[in-house]
Amino acid sequence: MRVTSSAYYDNLTSQLQAQLGRQTHLQGQVSSGQRITNPEDDPAAMGRVLNAQADQGLVQQYYRNAQRALSINEASSAGVSALKDLSDRAGEIGAMTSGTTGKDAMQAYAKEVNQLMEQALQGANGKLDDSYLFGGTKSDSAPFAATREAAGQITTVAYQGAAGGASIAVDGGTEISPYTSGSDNGNFATFINNLGKLRDALNSGDASAVQAARGDLNTSETDLVNTVGDLGAVNTRLTAASSASAARFTNLQGQISTDADADLPSTIIKLNQAQTAYQASLQTGAKILSHSLLDYIG
């Protein structure tokens, strides 16, 4: 006499559950494209993935830092370039005036230079978002203060910002300041005051004083050109740092994909095999379990 034992039934049930679990696991890999979703799927690979994801988070922050620094740097560069444009115009006015220039013409030019001073002061107190660009670490108040006469005309401008700007971390061992230096900012005040010298010389009709003011403005223009160059060099460093962070993030993503992504063609084949084995087990079990005890009595 042969009988279908409880042990066989339990074994078949366990086998079917295991095969069904494997099917479900493979179906999840195919639908998600991920080889591992739980630590027990591959503990070593999961550890590498988690470490790489943590590194990605840090790299992302460095990239955002570099992008923010680039925005500050580019806005600062545009501001200083605008000051240089004003300096160029002041130089043209100074070059056009001489001992033969009439007093009325000089006074007309003086009015234009006075407007250049106002524009320069406004530019020197320029902002990016809600922060002053040229105040160093003291970015919450206007860095350049003007003293004015009773009629409202600027007499002098003084720098009242900080000695330097903040540095920003763009990778694990590098911090870069995208701001102009305190000495550069002080030079901006000197430039505006030199515009005042030219204005006053033109108003007085003193050609010699005009030429002296031109010399001071030439010095200021050299300072502005040097500042633009320094900002350009910083821009190059920030651009390189930003690109390096982007490349690092992509490399980490590749490492994560290598460990976590499923090989879809291979996984689909395994899924088909698992489904076939499961169906075969179901059919075999159904045939055996369909017999009654009498079928086994000789």
Span 59-88, mean pLDDT? Answer: 97
The lowest-confidence range among 1-15, 70-84, 99-113, 159-173 is: 1-15
* pLDDT digit string, tens, across residues 86-96: 999 999 999 98
Q: Is residue 277 part of a domain?
A: no
Residue 103 lies in a domain: yes
What residues make up the domain containing 63?
51-254
**CATH number reported for the structural domain that contains residue 83 in this entry:** 1.20.1330.10
| Number of domains within the chain | 1
Residue 194 in domain: yes
In a domain, residue 38? The reply is no
- In 10 A of CB 72, how many CB atoms? 24
pTM given for the model: 0.76
Position 31 in a domain: no
Domain presence at residue 241: yes
pLDDT value for 25: 59
- In a domain, residue 30? The reply is no
